[in-house]
Amino acid sequence: MEEQRKKENIEENQNLENKDIAEELESVNEARQHTKAGLNDDVEEAEADVEVEQEEKLQQELTEANNKYLRLYAEFDNYKRRTSKERVELLQTAGKEVIGDLLMVLDDFERARKSMENAQDIPSVKEGVELVYQKLKSILNRKGLKEMESVGQEFNADLHEAITRIPAPTPELVGKIIDEVEKGYFLNDKVLRYAKVVVGSESL
């Protein structure tokens, strides 16, 4: 009987201990669950913070790139306006300089005209006109104008404009320029005006 009671007491104590252990395990599991939930919340919050930071960084980079583009566009627009203005001014200045030099020739022509009204000495008048012509030619040469030598040269469509073709007086002049109707000119080594020429062809 005594042994039965001891056995029951032992079983009861064992059950109490098992119950306490089970309660402790449940508490530990609950604590673990809370910790896990808290960690998940922390991770989600950290991920959200990272996303916000990345979005802010990208927005900042986009703003900087946009500002840089606007600055470059404004600088290019200013450059375009400035170069356009400089080009117009250069053309106006170049024209002004040429006209200023030609005024001297115009003065010479006016003096020649007056002298021709009552001139008796024809050779001196011719000489005066020749001097004015040479002066004009010299001014234009200084500005880059150069006469095109055409007569006797091979016909070149890049330089010459054929007005007509006539039988060449000699076989050597076939395909060459026999006469020049209007002189051609270069300006700074570029064709300013094509020479209008007569080209020799084979006799029929």
Give the contacts of 182 (CB within 8 A, at least 6 positions apart).
Answer: 193, 195, 196
Q: How confident is the model at residue 186, as a pLDDT? A: 94
> Helix, strand, or coil here: 168?
coil
* Centroid of chain to Cα 179: 45
Question: Directed axis angle between helix 2-117 and helix 122-142, to 10°?
Answer: 170
Give the pLDDT score at 36: 63
Neighbours of 74 (CB within 10 A): 10
In the prediction, which pLDDT does 9 show? Answer: 61
Which residue in the block uniquely carries the two structure tokens 């004015």?
132
- Reported pTM: 0.52
Burial of 183 (0-12, 13-18, 19+ CB in 10 A): middle
Q: What is the mean pLDDT of each run of 10 residues along the chain (204 residues)?
A: 62 64 71 66 71 85 89 90 85 76 87 79 83 90 91 92 90 90 92 94 75
| pLDDT reported for residue 4 | 62
Query: Residue 179 is inside which H or E element, if any?
Result: strand 177-182
Q: Alpha-carbon distance 51 to 42, whole Å?
A: 14
**146-204 belongs to which CATH class?**
mainly beta
Q: Where in the chain is the domain with CATH 2.30.22.10?
A: 146-204
pLDDT tens-place string over residues 23-74: 777 776 776 776 666 666 666 777 777 788 888 888 888 988 888 999 999 8
Q: Is the distance from CB of 177 to CB of 199 less than 8 angstroms?
A: yes
Which residue's structure tokens are 């306490």? 20
Smallest CA-to-CA distance from 177 within 201, 202, 204, 203 is with 201
